[in-house]
Amino acid sequence: MEKLLGETQFEQIKKTYQGKILPATHPESIRVRLIAKEVIDALQRGLSNERVWSDLGYASTESSLGGGSDKGVKEMEMAMSGEDTMTDMKWSKEDQVLDDQWIQKSRKKDSKAHAATSHLEGISWEVLVVNEPIVNAFCLPAGKIVVFTGLLNHFKSDAEVATVIGHEVYKKF
């Protein structure tokens, strides 16, 4: 029902702004579509891999150096102060290898991921750029994104536009 409502609203917007909708080949239309594609791809990747971090050791206040040694703190202080005393230090092989078991665990697929993204299946994402000085964008149900050129004139970088589109998409899904 919500999908049908979104599609109906999208058709009404097309009629309302007829003659002001930038063609699909316009550089701003292409730019917005590419930005929206990145946002949607990130959304789908993020939801399909959504999980709570359980690696408490990563941010632990406990020292992994053993014995309460502050060797790591001293090394960091020297590095940050710009002193070049690191060249005469002896490094072990363990210092050079990052233990990435926690990374591998966090990347494993979760059977609950499908449930989190099932409402996104079958959405036909569409982007419309309207040549109006309005600083606004919105996303309708059914994956219909509308961006006004006023927003593109106000936010110049792709990152800024992506932030707005991401926010609008997030509110709907």
Exactly one of 94, 121, 132, 168 is catalytic; which is it? 168
CB atoms within 10 A of CB 32: 26
Under DSSP, is residue 96 helix (H, G, I), strand (E, B) or coil?
helix
Residue 100 is encoded by which pair of tokens? 């990435």
CB atoms within 10 A of CB 43: 16
62 flagged as catalytic: no
| Per-residue three-class SS string for 125-151 | CEEEEECCCCCCEEEECCCEEEEEHHH
Phi and psi torsions of 132, nearest 5°: -140, 145
CA Rg, the chain, in Å?
Answer: 24
Distance CA 146, CA 168 (A): 10
Tell me the catalytic residues.
Answer: 168
